[in-house]
């Protein structure tokens, strides 16, 4: 997904009954099995990049649409979608012409919180698995959970997990209540990105070598954490939004 207006480079040229779309979209999840995709495209070149963007509902079976699966470290389903002179009827416009970016912003806020919830669930699994492993893995004749360094690591992981849960729930509640939520959703995504990374690292380090292999589930959680971290905006992107909301 395009997380900034500057990132929308696909163009849409108006004709008599259709718009003709040209451009490439990268990292589109599950595009290979989608019947339709929502495409943000520039319908008017303006000085302000957040203007002149329109949302189109594109039939993936249309002539000129090419979808290619991308290889990823997490083995998740990410695609490249190439739009080459794709004709889209005007009735497939979502919302109003040139006014699509405010809709995109709302979608991205909700998507960011949903991604936070996914990472919170992942963090909980890693916390539970690592705690249990620390109780059963024996080294030097005692469970590794008896070592102070492991205890402190697990305590730090738990603090990150609890904070991630709280700020994710807070952002989701504000969305559900229809309250202003831009600052809260961006703060949640920025924090959970970093906290989830620390929790994954703590889980891997506690499991030792097996935690970095393809033979243990925790390795999969680590690989999946990387695309989750950048999906719908990385920490730097969202910290910038938080700063703007503070008037900085």
**Alpha-carbon distances of 161 from 67, 108, 193, rounded to whole Å:** 37, 23, 11
Q: What pLDDT shows up at residue 212?
A: 81
Q: Rounded distance, CA 60 to CA 49, Å?
A: 27
Q: What is the mean pLDDT of residues 214-242?
A: 91
- Confidence class of residue 209 from pLDDT cuts 50, 70 and 90? confident
pTM of the model: 0.89
- Confidence class of residue 1 from pLDDT cuts 50, 70 and 90? low
Q: Rounded distance, CA 52 to CA 45, Å?
A: 6
**Alpha-carbon distances of 80 from 135, 192, 212, rounded to whole Å:** 44, 27, 29
Q: What pLDDT shows up at residue 2?
A: 66
Q: What is the mean pLDDT of residues 119-129?
A: 97
pLDDT score of 47 more than 80: no
Q: Rounded distance, CA 9 to CA 199, Å?
A: 36
Are the C-beta atoms of 58 and 65 separated by less than 8 Å?
A: yes
Q: What angle do CA 174, 230, 57 make, to 5 degrees?
A: 75
What are 146-181's pLDDT values in tens digits?
Answer: 999 999 999 999 999 999 999 999 999 999 999 999
**Alpha-carbon distances of 107 from 16, 63, 158, rounded to whole Å:** 30, 28, 30
- Confidence class of residue 5 from pLDDT cuts 50, 70 and 90? confident
Q: What pLDDT shows up at residue 151?
A: 97
Q: Rounded distance, CA 163 to CA 50, Å?
A: 33
Angle between helices 182-207 and 235-245 (to 10 degrees): 150
What percentage of residues in the chain have a pLDDT greater than 70?
99
Q: Rounded distance, CA 209 to CA 232, Å?
A: 31
Report CA dihedral (95, 96, 102, 106) to the nearest 10 degrees: 0
What are 31-40's pLDDT values in tens digits?
Answer: 999 999 999 9
Of 44 and 160, more confident: 160
- Confidence class of residue 75 from pLDDT cuts 50, 70 and 90? confident
């Amino acid at each position: 997904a395009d997380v900034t207006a500057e990132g929308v480079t696909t163009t849409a040229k108006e004709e008599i009954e259709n718009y003709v779309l040209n451009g490439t979209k990268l990292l589109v999840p599950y595009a290979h099995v989608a019947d339709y995709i929502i495409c943000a495209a520039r319908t008017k070149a303006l000085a302000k990049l957040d203007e002149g963007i329109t949302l189109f509902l594109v039939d993936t079976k249309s002539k000129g649409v090419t979808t290619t699966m991308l290889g990823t470290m997490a083995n998740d389903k990410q695609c490249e979608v190439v739009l080459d002179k794709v004709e889209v009827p005007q009735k497939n416009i979502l919302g109003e012409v040139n006014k699509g970016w405010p809709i995109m912003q709302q979608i991205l806020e909700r998507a960011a919180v949903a991604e936070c919830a996914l990472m919170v669930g992942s963090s909980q699994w890693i916390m539970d698995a690592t705690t249990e492993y620390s109780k059963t893995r024996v080294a030097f004749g005692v469970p590794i959970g008896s070592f102070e360094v492991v205890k402190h690591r697990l305590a730090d992981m738990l603090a990150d997990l609890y904070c991630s849960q709280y700020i994710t729930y807070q952002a989701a509640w504000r969305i559900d209540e229809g309250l202003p939520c831009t600052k809260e959703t961006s703060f949640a995504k920025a924090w959970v990105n970093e906290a989830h990374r620390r929790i994954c690292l703590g889980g891997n380090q506690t499991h030792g070598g097996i935690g970095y292999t393809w033979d243990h589930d925790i390795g999969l959680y680590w690989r999946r954490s990387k695309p989750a971290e950048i999906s719908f905006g990385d920490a730097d992107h969202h910290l910038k939004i938080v700063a703007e909301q503070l008037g900085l």
